[in-house]
Chain A
Amino acid sequence: MEQQQQEHIDSLLERYLSLLDEYTRLRQDLSKLQSGVYQNIARANFAGERGMRYGQDYYDERMRATRVLRIDEAGGDEAVPRFMIKHLMASSSGAAAADDEEEGAKEDEKSESKPEGGDAEGTTAQSNSGTTPETNQTAEDQNQNGEEQEKEKPKMKKTSSDPLRWYGLLAPLPLRTAQTLSIQAVEQVIPRLVSVNAEMEHVEIEIRRARKKRAKAAAVADKEALGMEAVEAR
């Protein structure tokens, strides 16, 4: 009996430690992504026109969330909430085009980061010259798509959904990279991090319960042993 209880606690602790390991890894991932976001926003601010800061001055006061939470229960009778992020505009081609842009931005960023030893201005000039043709191309593509869809959907909906549009039609490359990294953090890391936290809380309760049960069983066994000793003494 005692052996069984101990095994149960051990298996719970094993699960708890694997969750802790995942939590620590996710924390590292989040820190890495966040610092990438901050660096890219700083680069966008550095390369931007005089006085232009990509911050709250340009927020759209009518903004609507395009990435929203979905919470459900992770497993059968264990009421552990599982958090997920759903992209509301995922099915629309406007968002798909924006995603394509982000992918492009990511690839450009990778190729650009190689010769980073040079001075900052040189790098930004390089990045600007490297992206202009592609940005023009994607803008043209978008125009074509827009023309095709104008009959079906109102134009406003498409333009207002992407936060990058707050900063103008042609947002700088570092800002698009910041957006890609931020989406990664919001879609993959943050929901998993809070889900793991919820699961850890649940396992903690189970461990405490199992430990109490074991302690009670041990107390009962001690009492019984004392009783037997007393009987034998008589």
Chain B
Amino acid sequence: MSSQADYKDREFLAVIGDEATPLTQDSVTGLLLAGIGHITTGAEAKKNFLVVDNKTETAAIESAFDSFTERKDIGIVLINQHIADRIRHRVDSYTAAFPTVLEIPSKDHPYDPEKDSVLRRVRRLFGE
């Protein structure tokens, strides 16, 4: 299914999440508190997170998603489900085994099982 070379260097979790405003809660800050944030050294400092606010354009989210899924040092991409909805076509058409994409809830947008790709797969398997 996948060779060891595919994942042996994948040591980071990437996050695409919303920012703290009076109305929304901060997904990225919460996860970075756990110590998963990483900024590479060198001329082109690469972050493994993107904070999305209401001014962030969909193209920027798409570009971050593409960049995180192309990087060889990222093993899991965490993305708020409501942000994934903004680039749904891109998330649904992503089929590579690594990095794996996991949609997570945010305070104002609780987890919706209807949109969960795993549960959609389950329904397909049982012929619904």
B91 at interface by CB-CB < 8 Å: no
> With contacts A56-B28, A63-B37, A197-B100 known, is A69 near B10, CB below 8 A?
yes
Stretch at the interface among A37-45, A123-131, A135-143, A221-229: A37-45
> With contacts A54-B20, A83-B76, A194-B100 known, is A182 near B31, CB below 8 A?
yes
The reply to whether B110 and A54 form a contact with Cβ atoms under 8 Å apart is no
Most buried by A among B12, B35, B76: B35
Stretch at the interface among B58-66, B82-90, B118-126: B118-126
The reply to whether A69 and B30 form a contact with Cβ atoms under 8 Å apart is no
Q: Whose C-beta in chain B lies nearest to the C-beta of A175?
A: B33
> With contacts A34-B105, A194-B100 known, is A80 near B1, CB below 8 A?
yes
Q: How far is the CA of A191 from the CA of B51 in the complex (A)?
A: 22
Q: How far is the CA of A187 from the CA of B20 in the complex (A)?
A: 23
Q: How far is the CA of A198 from the CA of B105 in the complex (A)?
A: 20
Within the complex, what minimum Cβ distance (angstroms) separates B21 from chain A?
9
Within the complex, what minimum Cβ distance (angstroms) separates A20 from chain B?
6
* Cβ contacts under 8 Å, B20 to chain A: 41, 45, 53-55
The reply to whether A38 and B37 form a contact with Cβ atoms under 8 Å apart is no
Q: How far is the CA of A206 from the CA of B100 in the complex (A)?
A: 20
Which A8-48 residues have a C-beta within 8 angstroms of B? 16, 20, 23, 27, 30-31, 34-35, 37-39, 41-42, 45
* Cβ contacts under 8 Å, A81 to chain B: 2, 7, 97-98
Scan A65-94; emit 1 where CB is below 8 A from any B CB, else 0: 111111101000001110100010100000
The reply to whether B33 and A55 form a contact with Cβ atoms under 8 Å apart is no
Most buried by B among A41, A162, A198: A41
Cβ-defined partner of A59 (8 Å) among B2, B32, B98, B107: B32
Q: How many interface residues does B have (CB within 8 Å)? A: 49
Q: How far is the CA of A62 from the CA of B36 in the complex (A)?
A: 13
* Cβ contacts under 8 Å, A45 to chain B: 20
Cβ-defined partner of B36 (8 Å) among A31, A37, A67: A67
* Cβ contacts under 8 Å, A202 to chain B: 1
Cβ-defined partner of B26 (8 Å) among A31, A38, A63, A64: A38
Scan B92-119; emit 1 where CB is below 8 A from any A CB, else 0: 0000011010101111001101001010
> With contacts A34-B105, A63-B38, A63-B39 known, is A164 near B33, CB below 8 A?
yes
Q: How far is the CA of A73 from the CA of B6 in the complex (A)?
A: 12
A173 at interface by CB-CB < 8 Å: no
Which B1-53 residues have a C-beta within 8 angstroms of A? 1-2, 4, 7-8, 10-13, 19-20, 25-39, 41, 45, 48, 51
Scan A188-224; emit 1 where CB is below 8 A from any B CB, else 0: 0011011001101110100110000000000000000
Which A149-193 residues have a C-beta within 8 angstroms of B? 161-164, 175, 178-179, 182-183, 185-187, 190-191, 193
Question: What 10 A-B pairs come out closest when comparing CB atoms?
Answer: A66-B35, A38-B25, A37-B30, A65-B38, A79-B1, A68-B11, A38-B107, A182-B34, A186-B34, A179-B33
Interface residues of B (CB under 8 A from A): 1-2, 4, 7-8, 10-13, 19-20, 25-39, 41, 45, 48, 51, 75-76, 78, 97-98, 100, 102, 104-107, 110-111, 113, 116, 118, 121-122, 125
